[in-house]
């Protein structure tokens, strides 16, 4: 089919992506027996049976502001709020929708948002949509964040947004110092805990809870350690009420399935009590980190928790290593720009609690043969 008008340039653009080693194509599902080491299913819940009563409706039918609000939604949101020790929570269809909707609803022209340089694309897009001035500070540079807040004293309002556990680097900011900086300069602290809730912190409540920090806005994901789908924003009742009315990605979307909401409530109760799975994840992670270090050396970037990024550099080389590992029964996708900065392509290895000693031995053998940057 011949593309017309504004679409005519796409074939050339796709060719350029392919030549740069950046073209993504759907890949075949991993073969039976292949170990998946690039999933965010940190506790292994994603392969479990559906944890919801069969009688829960399959569809909401409309936006929750119209007629799509069901009892299952309210029960799930109350379970999340109770788990996290906050007043209220609001469910979104995805982490992307949660960040874009929340940031664009809370901030506006005249405000200043201080944002970490490696924040997720959904945070970046939410900041752009807000119309606020965005000051991007170097990754995990607390002094730069403090200076930016101080310099923004003339702003209508100030905000600081960061992830608690960065998904491509497996590292974390100093949340205690960031909270103190926000308090000093009368700024609100927004923390995306997508890759931390469920897997890290007391009762799986995330890294802010681990260090005793209470964000003004906490964003969490349900499709990672909780093994389901969707996301939530948690905080005060005032925050929830405002987002209910003004977060466009919530207001103008059909409510999530009530059956999914019922599953979320069950899964939240399970994850809060599952210290055993988190301890198992810690043990698996410690061994995997030690084993990978013995093979890839300094290419294993400094990190903590279940995300273990192995630096490669050129995108085409990251793809080649990924294919060699796949041939050996290990699925680890190459992470390339624009997901990470140019020149920093990597393999993002993620541990999960279900890995056995035999699995870890297979992984070591595959990397020993396939790691040839």
**Positions marked catalytic:** 40, 120, 163, 167, 192, 195, 224
Phi, then psi, of 143 in degrees rounded to 5: -60, -40
Rounded to 10°, the helix 315-327/357-370 angle is 130
Distance, CA of 42 to CA of 199 (rounded, Å) = 7
Distance, CA of 306 to CA of 363 (rounded, Å) = 15
Q: Peptide bond preceding 10: is omega within 30 degrees of 0, i.e. cis?
A: no
Q: Token pair of 190, please?
A: 């927004």
Phi, then psi, of 265 in degrees rounded to 5: -60, -45
- For the beta carbon of residue 15, count every other beta carbon within 10 angstroms: 11
**Cα first-last separation, the chain:** 39
* Ramachandran area for residue 162 (φ above 0: left; ψ -120 to 50: alpha; else beta): beta
Residues 6+ apart with CB under 8 A from 194: 95, 120, 163, 165, 167, 219, 220, 221, 224, 231
Q: Token pair of 236, please?
A: 């005060």
């Amino acid at each position: 089919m011949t593309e017309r008008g504004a679409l005519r340039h796409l074939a050339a653009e796709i060719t350029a992506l392919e030549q740069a080693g950046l073209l993504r194509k759907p890949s075949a599902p991993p073969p039976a027996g292949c170990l998946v080491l690039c999933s965010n299913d940190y506790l292994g819940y994603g392969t479990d049976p559906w944890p919801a009563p069969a009688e829960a409706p399959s569809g909401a039918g409309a936006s929750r502001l119209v007629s799509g609000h069901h009892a299952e939604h309210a029960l799930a949101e109350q379970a999340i709020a109770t788990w996290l020790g906050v007043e209220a929570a609001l469910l979104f269809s995805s982490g992307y929708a949660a960040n874009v909707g929340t940031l664009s609803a809370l901030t506006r022209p005249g405000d200043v948002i201080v944002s970490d340089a490696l924040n997720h694309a959904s945070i970046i897009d939410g900041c752009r949509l807000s119309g606020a001035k965005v000051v991007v500070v170097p990754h995990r540079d607390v002094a730069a964040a403090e200076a930016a807040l101080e310099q923004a004293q003339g702003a209508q309002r100030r905000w600081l947004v960061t992830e608690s556990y960065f998904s491509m680097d497996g590292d974390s900011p100093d949340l205690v110092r960031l909270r103190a900086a926000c308090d000093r300069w009368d700024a609100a602290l927004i923390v995306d805990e997508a890759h931390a809730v469920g897997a890290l912190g007391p009762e799986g409540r995330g890294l802010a809870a681990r260090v005793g920090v209470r964000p003004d806005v906490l964003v969490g994901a349900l499709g990672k350690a909780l093994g389901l789908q969707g996301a939530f924003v948690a905080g005060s009742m005032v925050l929830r009420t405002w987002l209910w009315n003004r977060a466009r990605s919530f207001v103008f979307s059909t409510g999530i399935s009530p059956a999914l909401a019922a599953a979320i409530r069950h899964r939240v109760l399970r994850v809060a009590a599952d210290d055993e799975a988190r301890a198992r994840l810690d043990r698996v992670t410690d061994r995997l980190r030690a084993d990978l270090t013995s093979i890839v050396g300094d290419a294993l970037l400094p990190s903590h928790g279940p995300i273990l990024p192995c630096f490669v550099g050129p995108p085409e080389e990251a793809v080649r290593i990924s294919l060699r590992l796949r041939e050996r029964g290990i699925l680890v996708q190459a992470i390339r720009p624009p997901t990470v900065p140019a020149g920093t392509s990597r393999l993002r290895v993620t541990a999960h609690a279900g890995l056995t000693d035999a699995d870890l031995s297979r992984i070591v053998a595959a990397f020993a043969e396939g790691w040839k940057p």
